[in-house]
Amino acid sequence: MRKIILILFAAFLIVFALKDSIYNFEYNSVAIAPGQTAERAKVLEVLPGNSGEDLKIRVLTGDFKDKLFIIENNYCHSDYYVRPFKANDKIIVAVDRSSNQQNPGITILNYARDIFSFYLIFVFLSLLILIGRKQGFKSAVSLILTIFIIVEVMIPFILKGYNPILSAIFCCFIISILNLIIITGISLKSTATLIGTSFGVVVAGLLAYWVGMLSHFSGLVDEDALLLTNVNQGVFDLNGILFAGIIVGTLGAVMDVSMSISSSMYEIMQNNPDIHKMKLVQSGLSIGKDVMGTMADTLILAYAGTAIPLLLFSINQQTPLIILLNSETISAEILRALSGSIGIVLSIPATSFAFALISHKKQAIGITVADVNFRSSPEASDNVIGNLTQGEQLVVIGHSKGWYKVKRENGEEGWLREDGLSVRRRRR
């Protein structure tokens, strides 16, 4: 714990020392249209203009780096997009050189908000590691891998014309496997969790697809989907993309529920190794009843939150309920929330039965082949908590990267290397 605190303290000192450099982080120019690039700029002064206000800016990137310009604050004329710019604000501007190479047209695109996102990411990862320690670090790694798979695998698959639903299911399966291996290792818990998660996510996706087809969805449920109609001559399967989004959105909640049930059932089995498998299933179902209510609420509230502006508009305009419920946007949000919640509910019995069947199918009995160290975790550098003698019988209860987690006859649990154990299995 002391090492982690020292590391985090050192990281905070580094960030504090480099805060000016981070704040002044500059991108290279990005082409956004023929003859136009997106650049970073800094507001030097706010000046009175002919029809509002003008801004004196210095461009920070691109061919016009360090050049000064006076531009019109084009947001002053909108009631809903007023930007109260002030000196030292960082902004993103569009530089248009299509008509004049020496005197380009410059318009404001938005505030430069990315630096604050970087700060927030740093705080999140720091808290994750500080509170979760080694497990928190593993969670951070799994989160990064999840984002990577979605951005670098699933999205390119869809862009290349592969079926969005199959792409989403494939990527969710890979994400589940990697996350469970990183967080819990290859074990009884991770296997049961993977089975329950896969079942819940696939059922949620197929149910959403079936109901969507019966409801004659077009896939044009928001402005973002409408933008895709202008890309690649509108060849995207908008319905498939809608259902793929439902599958991905369901994954996290279903995996959380499945892991909670697997972990609880594992502890029950460890405390009562002779428990009957049906009794173990009943325990898993009882645990699931307590978990599913809050998780279903979480999923429904997350999707309902995105529909609040539309609901406010509809209620303000006194839209009849029959019109509101049959609009594609509201119907899509209902479909997302309910199909995901059904996936959560069905993952509970799937995980419970999978865990009971796997755990009672066979039991591993280990016999040490040499005197070996008995450690508190699967790391050669971790504390030695005892010594196992040749011929001692053990119950293997887990496995991770060349290490076995075993239980001694006195109930003590620990880890030892594979080369110190000879394993045989017997069916129960």
131-163 as b/e: b if 16+ CB within 10 A? eeeeebebbbebeeebeebeeeebeebbeeeee
Q: Are 94 and 32 in contact (CB under 8 A)?
A: yes
Q: How many CA atoms lie within 13 A of 378 on its CB side?
A: 16
How many CB atoms lie under 10 A from the CB of residue 169? 21
Look at residue 27 in the predicted model and tell me its pLDDT.
Answer: 56
Q: Is the pLDDT of residue 378 over 60?
A: yes
Average pLDDT for residues 264-275, to the nearest whole number?
A: 78
H or E element: which one contains 55? strand 52-59
User: Could you read off the pLDDT of 127-169 as tens digits, one per residue?
Assistant: 888 887 787 888 888 888 888 899 889 988 888 888 888 888 8
Look at residue 227 in the predicted model and tell me its pLDDT.
Answer: 66
Q: Is the pTM of this model over 0.85?
A: no
Most confident option among 45-54, 284-293, 317-326: 284-293
Q: Are 387 and 402 in contact (CB under 8 A)?
A: no
Q: Which domains does the chain have, with CATH numbers?
A: 30-112 (2.40.50), 188-361 (no CATH), 369-427 (2.30.30.40)
Look at residue 325 in the predicted model and tell me its pLDDT.
Answer: 74
What are 407's two structure tokens? 């239980």
CA distance 71 to 175: 47
Q: Is the pLDDT of residue 381 over 50?
A: yes
Higher pLDDT, 44 or 14: 44
User: Could you read off the pLDDT of 100-110 as tens digits, one per residue?
Assistant: 777 788 888 88
The DSSP code for 54 is E
Q: Are 182 and 141 in contact (CB under 8 A)?
A: yes
Instruction: From residue 357, give the alpha-carbon distance in Å to each of 89, 195, 196, 258, 277.
Output: 61, 12, 13, 15, 7
pLDDT-based confidence at residue 365 (cuts at 50, 70, 90): low
Q: Are 376 and 367 in contact (CB under 8 A)?
A: no
User: Could you read off the pLDDT of 232-248 as tens digits, one per residue?
Assistant: 555 677 778 888 888 88
CA distance 176 to 195: 10
User: Could you read off the pLDDT of 409-424 as tens digits, one per residue?
Assistant: 777 888 887 776 666 5
Q: Which amino acid is at 415?
A: W
Q: Is the pLDDT of residue 51 over 70?
A: no
Residue that has been written with the tokens 């080694």 in this structure: 134
User: Could you read off the pLDDT of 69-128 as tens digits, one per residue?
Assistant: 888 876 655 555 566 788 888 888 888 887 777 778 888 888 888 878 888 888 888 888
76-80, 313-317, 324-328, 371-375: which has the minimum mean pLDDT? 76-80
Look at residue 81 in the predicted model and tell me its pLDDT.
Answer: 56
CA distance 247 to 180: 18
pLDDT-based confidence at residue 427 (cuts at 50, 70, 90): very low
User: Could you read off the pLDDT of 20-36 as tens digits, one per residue?
Assistant: 544 445 556 777 778 88
pLDDT-based confidence at residue 350 (cuts at 50, 70, 90): very high
Task: State whether residue 252 is helix, strand or coil.
Answer: helix
Look at residue 370 in the predicted model and tell me its pLDDT.
Answer: 65
